[in-house]
Amino acid sequence: MHSSLGLAIIVFSGGLIASFAAPMKLSRAWNWENTWLAYATLALVVIPLVLVVWAIPHPIAFYAGIPLSTLLPPLLFGFGWGIAQVTFGLSIARAGMAMAFAIVVGLSSLLGSAIPLAVFHPGDMASRPGAVLLASAVLLFAGLAVYVDADRKRGLSAGGTASTRDVFLSGVLLCIFTGCFGSMINMGFVFGGGIAQQAVRQGIPAGSATLSVWAVVLAAGYLPNLGYTLFLMRKNHSIGLFRRSIARESLLAFVAACLWLFGMLGYGVGASEMGKYGNSIGFAVFMAVMLVWSSVLGLIAGEWKSASSIAQMRMRAGLALIIVSMLVLGISTLVH
């Protein structure tokens, strides 16, 4: 029962996360760096701080009582994931929502599932879970190859020049980098389990205890986002844009922050409910749902409107292979 409930929570949360970039595409008065800084400040600092104060009595004393050795892993993984957050925003701008999510979600899903399994259940790597991961990896890389080729053909059918092809290549490389580093948020949650355990020992419900971990991971992830966006605002002289349409633009950033943050928090609750494989198999299901819905949003936004029928067919085939690779991981938890 708990496993089914956890799976349902994870599916719903994946849909929330996949939608987070849609409000930012409606921004008209701010540059990317303005919108991203507002979104990151709300999603990674302000809202998590409010939730921690609500869920954990005396939060300052709580964190002061946790050993540095327990805090350091989620802090380091959170910082690495924060770098991926910045490059993910750039990946969407360069490669489009559908392409960025396909590569980033695929790689993050595989690494985010394999590493916790290898660290916490190494014996399973030589049994069925390990074989499932290998099969998923083969399907994933085949799907990514087909998807990238489809997007290249989309650029050619749209009359892309050498400069647009360079943007495409840099976008693909950014997506690959982001996918590798993006799995660190799952690592931060997994290796920050000691913080949640400390919260539970103090009488905090398990669902609320996950907030204590997320607050640490997200705060560390905020630092790269802050540094890069401030650098861009200084370079582009765009800090003054905050005065334009501040109510509308701030609302868009707030909606994006809520979609992303509550999707991530929901994943944490769902993974806890799923039990042993919640942080590995559950993560794969979470990513699969994100990929499906983000691809739908990308199609609705017209990102593939100018593509030839062959490119669109290959895009669907690549997407299907990526989804199957992650569903292979997800189905295995139902028959374990």
Q: pLDDT (tens digit, 9 = 90+) per residue, 91-115? A: 877 777 667 777 887 777 677 667 7
Q: Could you tell me which of 199, 217, 239 has the C-alpha nearest to residue 58?
A: 199
Q: Would you give the DSSP letter of residue 43?
A: I
- Which parts of the chain sit beneath pLDDT 70? 1-3, 97-98, 109, 112-113, 117, 124-126, 129, 155-168, 276-281, 283-284, 301, 303, 329-336
**pLDDT value of residue 331:** 59
Supply 168's token pair.
Answer: 């495409």
pLDDT tens digits along 142-151: 887 787 777 7
HEC states along 244-295? CCHHHHHHHHHHHHHHHHHHHHHHHHHHHHHCCCCCCHHHHHHHHHHHHHHH
Q: Could you tell me which of 318, 209, 333 has the C-alpha nearest to residue 279?
A: 333
Half-sphere exposure of 313 (CA within 13 A, CB side): 3
**pLDDT value of residue 133:** 72
* Distance of alpha carbon 278 from alpha carbon 62, whole angstroms: 26
User: pTM to 2 decimals?
Assistant: 0.74
* Distance of alpha carbon 104 from alpha carbon 178, whole angstroms: 6
